[in-house]
Amino acid sequence: METDRRSAHASPDRLERILGSAVVAVWGRLPQDVQHDLFEEAVLAGHRSERRAGEPDEGLRESLAIFLHDHHFRTADA
C-alpha cells in the first residue's frame, strides 16, 4: 500500500499561503523583472478570485503596490 503524501496540512490553499509569505519575505532581494512578473500575476489571480466571489476590487493593484512599498524600501525606489 502506497502512503498518501498529501495530508490536511498540505492543502493547496495552505501551500499557496506559505509560498506567498516566502515571496513577501524575500521580495526586496528579487530582481526587478521577477518582482514585476510576480506582481502582475498576483493582480490577475486576485481579479480572478474576486470575479468568482462576485466582489471585484478595482483598487487591488494600488493596494498591492502600497503594501509592497510600505514593506520593502527597494520597491519604493524602483
pTM over cut 0.85: no
Q: What are phi and psi of 59, to 5 degrees?
A: -95, 10
Asked, for residue 63, whether it belongs to a domain, the answer is yes
Q: How far apart are CA 58 and CA 44, in angstroms?
A: 12
- Identify whether 36 is part of a domain: yes
- How many independent structural domains does the chain possess? 1
Decide if 50 is inside a domain. yes
Q: Residue 30: which of 77, 76, 74 has the closest Cα?
A: 74
Kindly report, residue by residue over 14-66, the tens digit of the pLDDT. Answer: 999 999 999 999 999 999 999 999 999 999 988 887 676 667 677 899 999 99
In a domain, 41, yes or no: yes
Q: Angle at the Cα of 75 (from 71 to 78), degrees rounded to 5?
A: 160
User: Given a cut of 70, is residue 2 above it in pLDDT?
Assistant: no
| Residue, of 14 and 74, whose pLDDT is higher | 14
pLDDT band at 3 (very low <50, low <70, confident <90, very high): very low
